Chain A
Amino acid sequence: MQMWIYVVRRAILLVPIIIGVMTITFALVSSLPVYDQLLAHYGQPPKLRPWLYQDTVPCSVLGENGTGMCHNFYRDQLLDKLGLNQPLPVQWGLYMIRSFTFQWGTVNNYSTAGQSVPISKGQPVTTVLSWFLPYTLELALLALAIILAIAIPLGNLSAVYRNRPVDQASRVMSFSGYAIPAFLLGSLLLIGIVLGVSSVAGSVVHSPWCPNGEPWYNEFTGSWPQQLCFPNQQYPSWLKSGVISSPTGFPTVDAAIHGQWWLALDSLFRLILPALVIAFGTIASLLRFVRNSMLEVMNLDFVRTARAKGVPEKTVIKKHAGRNSLNVTITVLGLTFAFFIGGFPVIENVFRLNGVGYILAISVNMANYPIDFALVFGSTLLFTFILVSANIIVDVLYAYLDPRVRLG
């Protein structure tokens, strides 16, 4: 009961944070030229009126004082609707309302060059994101599972066997996690696997479950098999153009729902490598903290008490020390979650996975201009929401683990 008070209070504290983040994004958005803002909200101007967002339009031969251009009144209407000619505070309020009511603008100049992504200009950003969110979530959950499964036991071990081989190994691992950028690691893994297998088996190998012979190395990139692996060589109806699966959007779940077990396995298999790569960095930073907090806890009095009580050493470490150091782990995990999320665009880009990160990576890619600001800001908002909800979860866990927090 006390715990709920605590959690609710934390949740209330999160409101100003969300608003603050929104304000920052608002500042960025409103620093864009008006043209881009209109573009971001309404998408591309219709083919017939390409001049819609410009302040002046060519009108008569003379026009205003003979420039051949006159004021664009259509644009003024748009501005009014968006409130862009209001004073900033009002704009801020409108922006808040829009972002909380999920009016995040329209896809405008998302360049699908070279991508098999069925995004067409003019779609609302939220729908696009809602297609791709589940995939990212599945990836994230897998990665988190890996992190927890590796970091905590390894950290405890290296604290218990301080300066012994286990410890040294785990420390080197954590160091290299700090030192290798994720995309480098990912591509190294890919190349390593490809080179290794191709040197062993040549190129004739096919995916076991691809009757028409998909080259095996496609198993490691892309989130679905190629078209030719499917019955009568095209994607089933629930797999929209081989990218978006329905109804849930979680690839494994969907495949399982439609009873295609090999497909479910396949999609899971495609997630494992990226998840490992994403997890690696976080594990590195987590290991360090787990180890240190464990070292601290092991020096505390109550551990000595437990020993003096006659509790076997294993239990002392797992129960008495481990549970106490878990709080620190949770906190650090919450803190590093932002960086954890930041890794997704890159990794999904390396492995060509159709997640939000991939969309973001493409839409923000300054190599192919201009940027699709609607998508960029949309996905940023999305990530922020994810982050905040993660914080709440962390708080709940923390309160659950530590009675001192729970009971105030």
Chain B
Amino acid sequence: MTASGGANIPAAIATPTRRHRPSPRLDQWKRTWHFLRRNGLALFGLAVIFCLIGVAVYALTTPIPWDQLTECYGTNNQVITFHEIGLPVGLAWSVTIQNTTHDNVGTDVNFSLASGPAYAYTVTPPGGFNAKPASGQVAVAETPQTIDIKFSQGVGGVPVSPPAVSSSASSGPLSCTVCTYPTGTPSPGPNCYATPKGLPSLINPTISLSPLVAGPLPFGALTVTPENAYFYNLFNGLLRGSDYSLLISVSIVGVGAMVGLVVGAVSGYWGGVVDETLMRLVDIFLSIPQILFVIIVIAVVTEDYNTVLGLSPLATRVFLLIIGFMVVWWPFYARLVRGQVLVVREQKFVEAARASGASKGRIVLRHIIPNSMYPIFIQMSLDVGTVPLLTAFLVFLGFRIWPYVYFPEWGTISALATQNVLGYLGECATGTCSIPWWQLFFPGLALFLFAISVNFLSDGLRDALDPRLRR
């Protein structure tokens, strides 16, 4: 403090020894930056976050349709779809081809088969129904095709007539760019990768040393489809995933924080009945097991992948993901904000504002919220890192943002990878073991880096902004 002015004070003291017109906000930023600079971890976090944002922006600027990230091995697999007609909702039926049985998903049963021979299929109808055709032959052509199966009540039934085969453009890859072959056998052609058991998921990372080309599969491959029919390029996936992950987590946290801020500020400042009701509401939402809640919401709403608000199925499920998390997220912020507001509300400057006739709205906006912001920011930055982890939880528990098709989102990738790798555990213990480490490593690393750098940064910020810890 320089000495104060005053009626009877020599000018020498009254005039400040500072530069003429300091800009205090700049000073505050300088001060914060000073403390952040001393904190190596925080700097590291800052750097990583900037990198990730850069990657995300790059991914946005060069859009690739997400379903073309998948590549099939072999030469020409195709999707055969058996479409059900006249069966009540919810009854299970299945189709068997070459001793592999697939249950129905909604109204369809999907197979992915290599072209060539004609496959014999048999339909297992639910009890009390019979299907036509109950069995038959299907030859896999160059295009995916759909076979309609009609179900009817009663016994006996109509003699089998050749199935109506209709061709349709169903989702899934249409072109094969890459192939694999068992190690030791000669390569069938270009773009083919040697794998121990001919399994595409065991394609190793191929970092070619030439500086410009990062190799076709720099992070190796990952298999996700039920029949191991397709494998995915981890590198592309993580690249594409960056912007999806960031978008999802930021939007969840942002929306949640907004709601929480409003609710918390209102209930904290108004108090009384409003406070009571809002806080009970918060308590209710806090006593739901959050993850389960999100799962159930999505499961209930998108049973059989139906859509809402006329969004596309993908958009529907992303939207639902965000909404579901938002619903369980805001109460934390509400509570946090309320705690802050209760402190700030008692400060005298609020009363001073009231004494000079400020309206409640003005007080909340100009005095309460600005003075209870910082902890919210910290919490937000913490949570942004946590959201992809929770998405991974969901995916691990079977939630698919997009069924059967590889969806580029870090949580998804790492969860799928984990499931995939856990499958190898048994054979691994027998000694002859080839665990696709890269499938865990790279997605895990992406998640870990993101979360931990956000944590470092926010922690550094907290220390830098907290006057008590300023030492």
Whether A and B touch directly in their complex, counting CB atoms under 8 A apart, is answered as yes
Stretch at the interface among B208-216, B251-259, B299-307: B299-307
In chain B, positions 376-409 with a C-beta closer than 8 Å to chain A are 382, 385-386, 389, 392-393, 396-400, 403
A346 to B397, CA, bound (A): 7
Determine whether A202 belongs to the interface, using a CB cutoff of 8 Å to chain B. yes
In chain A, positions 8-38 with a C-beta closer than 8 Å to chain B are 13, 16-18, 20-21, 24-25, 28, 31-33, 35-36
In chain A, positions 202-221 with a C-beta closer than 8 Å to chain B are 202-203, 215-217, 221
Q: Known interface pairs A187-B418, A190-B422. Does A338 touch B396 (Cβ–Cβ under 8 Å)?
A: no
A349 to B395, CA, bound (A): 13
Determine whether A342 belongs to the interface, using a CB cutoff of 8 Å to chain B. yes
Determine whether B425 belongs to the interface, using a CB cutoff of 8 Å to chain A. yes
Taking a contact as CB atoms under 8 Å apart, the answer to whether B89 and A364 are in contact is no
In chain A, positions 67-81 with a C-beta closer than 8 Å to chain B are none
Taking a contact as CB atoms under 8 Å apart, the answer to whether A350 and B154 are in contact is no
Chain B facing A: main interface SS: helix
Taking a contact as CB atoms under 8 Å apart, the answer to whether A350 and B422 are in contact is yes
A341 to B389, CA, bound (A): 16
Determine whether A324 belongs to the interface, using a CB cutoff of 8 Å to chain B. no
**Inside 8 A of B106's CB, which chain A residues have their CB?**
369
A369 to B393, CA, bound (A): 19
Name which of B128, B397, B431 has the most chain A CB atoms within 10 A of its CB.
Answer: B397
Determine whether B274 belongs to the interface, using a CB cutoff of 8 Å to chain A. no
Taking a contact as CB atoms under 8 Å apart, the answer to whether A50 and B91 are in contact is yes
Taking a contact as CB atoms under 8 Å apart, the answer to whether A377 and B296 are in contact is yes
A304 to B91, CA, bound (A): 72
A365 to B284, CA, bound (A): 26
B16 to chain A, nearest CB (A): 32
Determine whether B291 belongs to the interface, using a CB cutoff of 8 Å to chain A. yes
Taking a contact as CB atoms under 8 Å apart, the answer to whether A338 and B299 are in contact is no
**Inside 8 A of B288's CB, which chain A residues have their CB?**
21, 24, 338, 380, 384, 387
Determine whether A383 belongs to the interface, using a CB cutoff of 8 Å to chain B. yes
**Inside 8 A of B280's CB, which chain A residues have their CB?**
13, 16-17, 20
Q: Known interface pairs A39-B90, A195-B433, A380-B296. Does A183 touch B392 (Cβ–Cβ under 8 Å)?
A: yes
Determine whether B286 belongs to the interface, using a CB cutoff of 8 Å to chain A. yes
**Inside 8 A of A50's CB, which chain B residues have their CB?**
91, 126-129
Taking a contact as CB atoms under 8 Å apart, the answer to whether A342 and B291 are in contact is yes
**Inside 8 A of B398's CB, which chain A residues have their CB?**
361, 364-368
B60 to chain A, nearest CB (A): 25
Stretch at the interface among B3-11, B141-149, B360-368, B452-460: B452-460
Q: Which residues of B contact A (CB under 8 A)?
A: 88-92, 103, 105-106, 126-129, 153-154, 280-281, 283-284, 286-293, 295-297, 299-301, 303-304, 332, 382, 385-386, 389, 392-393, 396-400, 403, 411, 414-415, 418, 421-422, 425-426, 428-431, 433, 435, 440, 444, 447-448, 450-452, 455-456, 459, 468-469
Top 6 nearest A-B pairs by Cβ distance?
A365-B398, A20-B284, A179-B451, A342-B291, A179-B452, A217-B429
